[in-house]
Amino acid sequence: MDMNPIDLGRIEVLQVLDEHGNVDQARDPGLSDSELLAVHRAMVLTRSFDSRMLTMQRQGEMGTFAPNLGQEACMIGQVWELTRQDWFSPSYRSFGAQIHRGWPMERLFLLWSGYHEGFPPPEGVNDMPFSIVIGSHVLPAVGIAMGMRRRNNNDCVVVNFGDGAMSQGAVSEAFNFAMVDRAPVVFVCENNGWAISTPTKLQYATDHLAGRGVAFGLSSIRVDGNDILGMIAAMREATRRARDGEGPTFVEAITYRMSLHTTADDPTVYRDSADSDPWHSRCPINRMEKYLEGRGLLSKEAAEKVKLEADAEVLEARERFRKIAKARPREVFDHLYKVTPSELEDQRNEYLSRLDRKGVD
């Protein structure tokens, strides 16, 4: 696969697995049967978690979060090639990748329901805490990669962000720093068609974002982000380049946000269903199941069993979450100041007195 800087007018999309389950043998990353089934299961688990989170949020049990329905291949594909020593710097729509990286699902439930215990990465997982501020995490990820290069440890960093972040100056600065330093970092832009309510056609005047990487000297490629095999193939080459000292890579993954921007959003206000309808046939899980069925690796009955097992696993995590998610209203004023200002101390005392009168622990 050629990932050298290319003519801006000839940037093509890498696709290995098409919508009908057909594979381009020349570009197939060559996963084993067991790996193919594991990739499929990881995507199904991601969707099950997303679905359950949405139900819990609508029932008042979860805070606002960003669903990733339809982006499962993009999520799993970008971290599939990473080792435990590599680092991952996620944005806020990355829980599928986080689960694959080793985050217990109950920890992510805690995170999105507002408990601080859910925010720090688990022990032994080389992930940064996810970022809400658009594009703010990209420069720190490059800094980690710059440190790796100086230590000569042959590891790499993957950092993801959405198409909206490409309008942030910090991302351009990160591209420049990474290229000048030859940092072992892979930038993954999840181009899902919308920056909240702003479509890509109103964000930039070209028909691609990959050209921006080329402008900074980065090896750049566009990938069908709903094609799990294409994502893995692109990331395999990108991480190899990083580890071999060949510098950073920019991967523009073309996908689509089938659900809400966040659960505080109503996409029917700003987009027509006709825009979304064609993407149903491009579902990353459906096309993978067609491929596996054609290979004789997964029947329809077996696929349904995988889904039921994933749903059950998520429900088990939900029950673990419920056992540890206990509100602690008396800690509201803690951790704000080393020395609490007197006026805030007065407010705290009044607040605690009210809890005492109501018998709240």
Instruction: Just list the catalytic residues.
Output: 257, 261, 270
**CA 228 – CA 234 distance, rounded (Å):** 10
CA distance 147 to 15: 33
Residue 242 · residue 302 · CB < 8 Å: no
Contact between residue 223 and residue 252 where contact means Cβ atoms under 8 Å apart: yes
CB 192 within 8 A of CB 166: no
Residue 252 Cα to chain centre, angstroms: 13
Cα separation, 22 vs 227, in Å, equals: 11
Q: Output the DSSP codes for 316-344.
A: HHHHHHHHH----GGGTTTTS-SS--HHH
Candidates 185, 194, 100, 204; CA nearest to 145 is 185
